[in-house]
Chain A
Amino acid sequence: MEVVDIDARAAKLGIDWSQVNFDSIQLPPGEDFGIESDDEAVYQDDQSEFDTGFGNIIVVDHLPVVPKEKFEKLEGVVKKIYNQLGVIKENGLWMPVDPDTKMTLGYCFIEFNTPQEAQNAKEKSHGYKLDKSHIFAVNMFDDFDRLMNVKEEWEPPQARPYVPGENLQKWLTDEKARDQLVIRSGPDTEVFWNDTRQKAPEPVHKRPYWTESYVQWSPLGTYLVTLHKQGAAVWGGADTFTRLMRYQHSMVKLVDFSPGEKYLVTYHSQEPSNPRDASKVEIKVFDVRTGRMMRDFKGSADEFSIGGPGGVAGASWPVFRWAGGKDDKYFAKLSKNTISVYETETFSLIDKKSMKVDNVVDICWSPTDSILSLFVPEQGGGNQPAKVALVQIPSKVELRQKNLFSVSDCKMYWQSSGEYLAVKVDRYTKTKKSTYSGFELFRIKERDIPIEVLELDNKNDKIIAFAWEPKGHRFAVIHGDQPRPDVSFYSMKTAQNTGRVSKLATLKAKQANALFWSPTGKYIILAGLKGFNGQLEFFNVDELETMATAEHFMATDIEWDPTGRYVATAVTSVHEMENGFTIWSFNGIMLYRILKDHFFQLAWRPRPPSFLTAEKEEEIAKTLKKYSKKYEAEDQDVSLLLSEQDREKRKALKEEWEKWVMQWKSLHEEEKLVRQNLRDGEVSDVEEDEYEAKEVEFEDLIDVTEEIVQES
C-alpha cells in the first residue's frame, strides 16, 4: 500500500495518526499480513544451516578387508598414519566389522579433536597408497549425505534465463548533458544534478544514513560505494540508485577501485589490544560485478607499510596501487625492502616472487602503461646514491634509472596520459643545513627515455605545489615564500623548442597554495585554501591571462566537474561556520551557492573517457560555433522562463502578503476602541502623527560676574 492510500484509508476510518502509539501494537506471532519483510537478513537466517557437529569426523575408505586376527594390526597402522596428521580423540577410531563373517568392511571412521585437523587429514591422506591395491579414499563425514545423493547420470545444468540488467550508464544520456554530484551533510547523503541553467541542484536521490563513514564513486562513475558495518555495497542503475552488489567485510574502513572498476579493494584494520603490537590489517579484493572475493590478505600493519622511522602508524592507503590503463591487470604493494606485484588473472605474484629493492620508499604507476616508477633514498651516509628507476611490468626490466646525490626527498608526479614523469628532488645544500628543489623530467614516450634537469630561476625557492596539465604538456608550480609565492608555468614542448622544457610565464606574488587544472587542460585555478581564506584565481594558460578572481571564504576543497565546465568549491565541517558549497563556471562566474550544516563531502560523478577520436574532437572544437548556437538558444529560453517564473512567484508572494496586511488592518481597525479603553481613552494609535515638532529656544542665565580689566 502506498503511504497516500494508507492516509486516505485512515482518514476514512477517522484515525488520527498522531494519536496512535505504534509501539503498543503487537501482531500475533508469525503474522505478517501478507507483507513481506524487505529485511534480507530474515531470509538469510532461514537458509543458514546448522552444524551437524560431525565436522571433525572423516571416513577412510578402501582399507584392506581383514579377518578378526588382523584387526588390531590394521587398527594400529591406521592410527599410526592419522596420528601424524592430527590428534585422534580417545576411542575416536571405529572400524565396523561384518557381524556374519567377522571380517572388516574396508572402511573406518576417525574422529579428530578439531574440524581443522579433520580437514587437514582429509586433504593430506586422500589418495594415500597403503599398498598397490589399497589407495585411501577419504571424505568428510558431513559430505556423505551429499555424495550419496549424487545422481548416477549427469544432468546438464539448467540454463537460467537471461535477465537484462539495468543500464548503468543511463546518467550519461541526460538530455541536458548535466553532471551529477554526491554530497554528504549531517546524516544525509544526496545525489544531485548540477543544473546550472536553473541555478540550483536538481535532486536525484536522497537517503539518510546511506553510509556509515563516507561514499565514493568508482573511477568511471558507474557505481557509488557505501560503507557499512557488514561490508561495502555498490549502488547505481538507470533511474534511482539501487543496490547492485554487496561485499562482505565486517568493519570495513577504506575502499579503493581498480581504474577499470573491475575490482574493489576493501580494508579493515584493528587496533591491537596490546599497544606494543602492530595493528592487524585485513584486505580483500572483490570482483565488482560478481561480488566474488578474489583474494584476501591478512597480517600485521608492518607487512603493509614501509615502516617509517617513528614506528608504524598503520598502513598508508591505498595499500595496493593499480597499474594504469583499463585492463586492471596488475597491482602492487610496497612493503619493507620489497615491491610485490600481483596480476589479476590468478591473483598471485608475478613469477611467484616479489621484487627485492633495498630501502625502497615510494612507488608510482604510470597512469596508462604498466610501468612502475620507484624511488630509493640515499644510503650509507651518502656513499650509495639515491635512485629513481622505471621498471616495466611484467618483465621487471629496468627501463631507465637515474642516480641522484645529496638528496633529502623525492616526489614523483606522472602526467595523466603517461607521457611525462616529473620527479621533484629536494637536495641538501653544501652545508646540509637547508634544502633546495629541482625537477628531473622523464619523457617516457621518446626513445631511450631522455631525462632533463630543470631548476627554478631562483633555485632556493621552496616548492609549494606542482601540477601537470591533464592530457597536456604543461605544468604549473607554486614556488617561493609564503604568504605571497610566485606561480610559474612550463611547457615540455613549445613551437620553437620541441625537445626541451621551457618557461612560459611567472606570475608574481599570488595568494595561492594549491593548483587545480581543469580536466580538459587550458584553465587552472590558483587557490589559496585554508590559511588564505579561499582566494580563487581563474587563469587561462593559453592566453596567460586572469579570467576572474573570486573568493569562497574559508574554502577547504575544490573539485572540477569531469567535463571541465564547472567547479565546485566547498567548506567542509573542518570549519564550524559557512558549511556548504558553491558552483562556479570554468571562467569564474559564481552560479549558485548551497549552505548545509555539517557538510562532510562533495564528489562529482566521474565520466568514462569519450568515445570520440582525437580528430573528431578537434573538428568539433573548430566548428564549435555551429553547435553553440543551439545551446545558447536553449539557455536563453530557460533563463527567460526562469525570470518569468521568478516574477510570477514574487507577484504571488506580494499578493499573499497584501492579503494578510489587509486582514490585519481590518482587525486593527475593529479593535481600535478596545485599545482606546485600555489606554484610558487616549485616542492616538501610532498611525497619525498628532504632535508637531516645535523648536524652542531656551536661554538660562546661570551666573553673572563683573570683572574690571585694567588698562595697561
Chain B
Amino acid sequence: MRPILMKGHERPLTFLRYNREGDLLFSCAKDHTPTLWFADNGERLGTYRGHNGAVWCCDVSRDSSRLITGSADQTAKLWDVKSGKELFTFKFNAPTRSVDFAVGDRLAVITTDHFVDRTAAIHVKRIAEDPEEQDAESVLVLHCPDGKKRINRAVWGPLNQTIVSGGEDKVIRIWDAETGKLLKQSDEEVGHKKDITSLCKAADDSHFLTGSLDKTAKLWDMRTLTLLKTYTTVVPVNAVSLSPLLNHVVLGGGQDASAVTTTDHRAGKFEAKFYDKILQEEIGGVKGHFGPINALAFNPDGKSFSSGGEDGYVRLHHFDSDYFNIKI
C-alpha cells in the first residue's frame, strides 16, 4: 500500500471529505483555499478561492453540486462544485468551526466559536435550491451551557430530527432539530474525559464515533446515546473515521502540535491506527505523517482512505488485497 502524497496545501490540514460516489475528495486546511482532488489518483482538480482565514470544515451535497465550507474568517460559504464559483456567504460574528448538510441538502448545521462577547453556538440554516433565493436567516440557534467552550462538531441525526454536537466541554449532546430542546447528553461517568475533537457518523446514521484528547474514541448509538464501544490509544485523538465496508474504525492524532519539536518523530506516534470495531482491538497502523493527523476520511467504497496532517500533506492510501482478509 504505497500512499499517494498530495501536496497542495501550505498549512496544516483540518478536514477531508469524499463525495457520495467516492470519486472526489475535498480537503480543507489552515491556508485559505479548500482544494478538490480526484480520489483515485490524487490529481488536483481545483481550488475554491474566497475565504480569508483558515478553513475548518466542509461538506458536499449528495449530488456533488454544492459545497459548503466554514472558516475562521467568520463566514461559511456555499460554492458551486463544478465551476468553483462562490454562491453565497453566511456572515457570523465569530469563526465557524463545522458545517454539515442535512439529508436532502435543504438544511445545514453550522457551529460558531466563542469570540469576544459572542458565545459558541449551533446555527441551522435553510439552503435554497436556487442560490439566488438563498437568505442568511437562521432557522434555529442553539447554545451550550458553557458558551466559552468551543463546539468542535455538530452533525444531523437520523431523518434530520436531531442534531448531535460535541466539543471542548467533553459532553455529547443530542438536540431536537425542530424545537432546539436538549434531548440527551452523555453521562459523565462513561463519557470523554477531555475535549472532543472529532465526530464521524456511520453511513446509515445509526451510530457515530467520537475522538477525544483523552486518548480514546467512543462509539455511540445515535438515537439513544448509549455508549457501545471504547477504543483506547496512546496519543490524543484528533480525527476518527468509520469504514463503510468492514467493521473497522481508524483513529488519527499524535502528540500535541506544540510539543512535537521536543521529541523525535517516533515518539510522537503520528500513526493512523486501525481498530476492530466490534472487538475493540488494534489491528494495525499506517505511519507516514511527520506531524499529528488532523483529518481522516474513508472512501465511501471502503477501499481507500486518506489522512491529512499537521505537516500539510494529504496521504491517499488504496488498501492492498491483504487488508480485506485480516483475521483477528
Contact = CB atoms under 8 A, between A and B. Distances in A.
A704 interface: no
A577 B228 contact: no
B266 interface: yes
A577 B300 contact: no
A660 B159 contact: no
A657 B102 CA distance: 27
B327 to A, nearest CB: 12
A70 interface: no
A577 B221 contact: no
B124 to A, nearest CB: 15
Given A577-B267, A653-B278, A668 B159 contact: no
B279 A650 contact: yes
B126 interface: no
A537 interface: no
Interface string A305-333: 00000000000000000000000000000
Contact of A576 (B205, B259, B277, B279): B259
A653 B234 CA distance: 24
B279 A674 contact: no
Contacts, number: 64
Given A653-B278, A657-B278, A660-B221, A577 B269 contact: yes
B103 A554 contact: no
Contacts of A577: 234-235, 255, 263, 267-269
Q: Which of B62, B204, B255, B263 has the most CB of A within 10 A?
A: B204
A592 B104 CA distance: 50
Given A553-B266, A578-B234, A650-B279, A686 B20 contact: yes
A9 interface: no
A675 interface: yes
Contacts of A674: 159
A46 interface: no
B160 A678 contact: yes
Interface string A559-599: 00000000000000001111000000000000000010100
Contact of B104 (A671, A678, A691): A678
B203 interface: yes
A577 B271 CA distance: 14
Interface in A657-712: 657, 660-661, 664-665, 667-668, 671, 674-675, 678-680, 682, 685-686, 691
B143 interface: no
Contacts of A597: 215
A654 interface: yes
Interface string A92-127: 000000000000000000000000000000000000
Contact of A668 (B204, B215, B278): B204
B41 interface: no
A678 B160 CA distance: 9
B93 interface: no
B206 interface: yes
A519 to B, nearest CB: 31
B287 to A, nearest CB: 13
A643 to B, nearest CB: 13
Contacts of A675: 103, 159
Contacts of B160: 678
B17 interface: no
B207 interface: yes
B279 A671 contact: no
Contacts of A575: 267
A679 B278 contact: no
B285 interface: no
A661 B223 CA distance: 13
Given A671-B159, A678-B104, A680-B104, A664 B267 contact: no
B259 A679 contact: no
B106 interface: yes
Contacts of A595: 232, 234
Given A668-B205, A678-B102, 20 more contacts: A553-B266, A576-B255, A577-B255, A577-B267, A577-B268, A577-B269, A578-B267, A595-B234, A653-B278, A660-B206, A664-B204, A665-B204, A667-B206, A668-B206, A674-B159, A675-B159, A678-B159, A686-B203, A686-B204, A691-B21
18 contacts: A575-B267, A576-B259, A577-B255, A577-B268, A578-B234, A578-B269, A650-B279, A657-B247, A657-B278, A664-B206, A667-B158, A671-B158, A675-B103, A678-B102, A678-B106, A680-B104, A685-B204, A686-B300
